[in-house]
Structure 1
Amino acid sequence: MSEMMVTDYPVSLAFWTELLGFGLAFERPAQKLACLVHPDGAQVMVYQRDGDWETGAMERPFGRGLVVQVYVADVDAVAARVRAAGLPFYVAPREKWRDWGDRLGGQREFLVQDPDGYLVMVVQRIGERPLPQD
């Protein structure tokens, strides 16, 4: 599970629940902290920045060099909600096949930034196939 510091807790909570489809596992309102669970199993925590655990300057976009992957059963439905909200895709929905060593693994995916700039890859696995023969 990833824990992410956010600058506007209600805005971030809405992004993860309304757009990406996470539900509330539990919340600590006084701390502005929520543990979120996606129906397909992914988990994430968001909490309002409070100065604790900050290892350096917090400048947008947050999480530079970090990609949070969320596996879902219907990536196109999630992409439609992102599109309807008017958010830009960092990488538009696409099909991608990657080398897994002894085979290729395929997925439908898109990338979007959350309100603080964390990069989120929303992924649906679509199968495996043999490596191309030379």
Structure 2
Amino acid sequence: MPELSVTEIAESLRFWCGLLGFRVAYDCPAARFAFLARGAVQVMLCERNGRWDTGGMQRPFGRGINLQIMVERLASILEGLEALGWPLFEAPREAWYRTGDRMSGQREFLVQDPDSYLLRFAERLDDAA
């Protein structure tokens, strides 16, 4: 599971829990750390302390990667983001990928968290031949 270094844990928790529907499964306020869960998805957040920095940290954090997070339904997440005017990096769309002799589909959108980590939320669509 990923552990993201964040600039401000309180701001990140407002985003991840308040907007995206994650819950704090475990936290250690003294270490400015939180273990979050949303269904089967787990992510850890830790306020930057320099301990594991392998180089200079500047926004956007996580350059070159996106974290795909599978959810049952995108609607509630999209509604929460829209209600607060949080911008999407990429609007919802259908994406189809070949898996053997079938096509697997998902509806997905991308959003950046307060530190600009790129998150791709997706819900499964029925497979096609």
2:77 partner SS: helix
Deviation string, structure 1 residues 10-68 (Cα, Å, up to 9, x no partner):
010111111111111100000110000002x1000001000111011101000001111
Residue 7 of structure 1 deviates from its aligned partner by: 0.3
CA RMSD of aligned residues (A): 0.9
* Residue matched to 1:79: 78
Q: How do 1:42-121 residues align onto structure 2 when only pairs under 5 Å count?
A: 42-121=41-120
Matched to 1:33, the amino acid is F
Q: Kindly report structure 1 stretches of 4+ aligned residues shifted beyond 4 Å.
A: none
Corresponding letter in the other structure for 2:10: P
Q: Structure 1: how far apart are the matches of 2:102 and 2:59?
A: 38
Deviation string for 1:97-130 (max 9, x for gaps)? 1222321111111100000000000111112111
Q: Which residue of 1 aligns with 2:125?
A: 126
Q: Hey, what does 1:22 align to over in structure 2?
A: 22
* Range with greater deviation from structure 2 (70-79 or 98-107): 98-107
Which amino acid letter does the alignment assign opposite residue 51 of structure 2? D
- Greater strand content: 2
SS at match of 1:90: strand
Residue 7 of structure 1 corresponds to: 7
After TM superposition, the score normalised by the length of structure 1 is 0.93
The aligned amino acid for 1:11 is E
Unaligned runs of 5+ in 2: none
Q: Which amino acid aligns with 1:74?
A: R
Q: Aligned residue pairs: how many? A: 129
TM-score normalized with structure 2 length: 0.96
Percentage of pairs with the same residue: 46
In structure 1, distance between residues paired with 2:30 and 2:53: 20
Tell me how far apart the structure 2 counterparts of residues 71 and 88 of structure 1 sit (CA, whole Å).
20
Distance in 2, matches of 1:100 and 1:30, equals 45
